[in-house]
Amino acid sequence: MSCTRLLVLALAALGALASAPRPAAAEQVIHSEKSLYRQIIVYEDEGLRCMRFTRQAGGRQSCIDLKQPQRIVFPYVKMMLAALYLAPQPRRVLVIGVGGGTLIGALQRLLPDAQVDAVEIDPAVVRVARDYFGFVPSRHVAVGEEDGRVFVKRALRAGRRYDLVMLDAFDHEYIPEHLLTREFLEEVKGVMAGDGVLAANTFSSSRLYDHESATYRAVFGPYFNLKRANRVVLLRKGGLPDAATLARNAAALRAPLAVLGMDAEEWLPAFSTAVDWRTDARVLTDAYSPSNLLNAMPR
């Protein structure tokens, strides 16, 4: 059995990436194509237009509200934007994983003067985001069509630094393995400014949860663990801000976030640093990847 298949089986019980699956009969598929990397389905259901990377119902990667396109549909996007509570005015932002462009579009509205580098390995995903989800890069948004880790390595060699890095790369299974390891996170740390902030979207429950958590902790130290359907890791390279700073920054963002359908204060109680994983869990590395780990686990 291949490593990829093992990872699929290990994560199959997790359910949808961002929301519970809907009956396929309720969907109206408006676009379907097989790209070099994945199957891309765009469909409409109960006033939402969504993208997923599999023919099977569920596992929605991105959705927009057709009547209120600015409204953020998924809680995980709101948790990712809560990274601004740690760094309210980042000047340079890196986003790995474009999807439907929802997160990048929100950043464009909230940070119109920030330079955003968006990276997506699949050119078809970028095209579908433009054609069906209203993703329109501005002069401040550069889209690179390449592997996210390759981009980070090149940025590291070039000496580029980012005030905010957002990791949101998924395929139809989970986060690609080479974007889960200690070596990759060390590279990401290297492109973060001295007080740079990281936001990483993961699953809130999986057989890899303990190991992912231990890997982030090994590279970055303590971090905030936000959970609602998904888990989002939030941290600041220079050390975590206190509760008063988080509350002050959230209050300053109240009005612009409300335009996106987000209650800024709602997310403050979710900022937890509690360790909810096995502290002796093995750290994921390039040499000992998730597939190696799952291979060694009892079935």
Q: Which two tokens stand for residue 109?
A: 């509205």
**Structural contact between residues 240 and 273, judged by C-beta atoms closer than 8 angstroms:** yes
Known catalytic membership, residue 113: no
- How far apart CA 259 and CA 137 sit, in angstroms, is 20
**Identity at 199, one-letter amino acid code:** A
- The one catalytic residue among 117, 122, 163, 168: 168
Q: Tell me whether residue 256 is exposed, middle or buried, using C-beta atoms within 10 angstroms of its C-beta: 0 to 12, 13 to 18, 19 or more.
A: middle
Q: Which of 120, 115, 220, 105 is nearest to 169 (CA)?
A: 120
> Which residues neighbour 135 within 8 Å (Cβ) at sequence distance 6 or greater?
98, 100, 101, 104, 105, 126, 129
Pairing outcome for strands 28-34 and 92-96: unpaired
Compute CA 262 distance to the chain's CA centroid, rounded to the nearest angstrom: 17
- How far apart CA 93 and CA 67 sit, in angstroms, is 29
- How far apart CA 268 and CA 281 sit, in angstroms, is 28
- Report the greatest alpha carbon distance in the chain: 52
At 299 the pLDDT is: 57
At 1 the pLDDT is: 41
Compute CA 263 distance to the chain's CA centroid, rounded to the nearest angstrom: 20
At 58 the pLDDT is: 65
Compute CA 93 distance to the chain's CA centroid, rounded to the nearest angstrom: 14
Domains delineated in the chain: 75-290 (3.40.50.150)
Place of tokens 């300053």: 252
The predicted-structure confidence for 244-296, as pLDDT tens digits, reads as follows: 999 999 999 999 999 999 999 999 999 999 999 999 999 999 998 677 766 66
At 27 the pLDDT is: 87
The predicted-structure confidence for 140-166, as pLDDT tens digits, reads as follows: 999 999 999 999 999 999 999 999 999
- How far apart CA 166 and CA 177 sit, in angstroms, is 17
Per-residue pLDDT of the chain (299 residues; tens, 9 = 90+): 444 433 433 443 333 344 444 444 578 999 999 999 999 999 999 999 999 998 776 678 899 999 999 999 999 999 999 999 999 999 999 999 999 999 999 999 999 999 999 999 999 999 999 999 999 988 999 999 999 999 999 999 999 999 999 999 987 788 999 999 999 999 999 999 999 999 999 999 888 999 999 999 999 999 999 999 899 999 999 899 999 999 999 999 999 999 999 999 999 999 999 999 999 999 999 998 677 766 666 55
Place of tokens 């190696």: 292
Place of tokens 């069906």: 132
Which residues share a beta bridge with 236?
A: 197
At 171 the pLDDT is: 79
**Identity at 238, one-letter amino acid code:** G
At 79 the pLDDT is: 98
At 208 the pLDDT is: 93
Compute CA 235 distance to the chain's CA centroid, rounded to the nearest angstrom: 14
**Structural contact between residues 64 and 49, judged by C-beta atoms closer than 8 angstroms:** yes
What number of residues does the chain have? 299
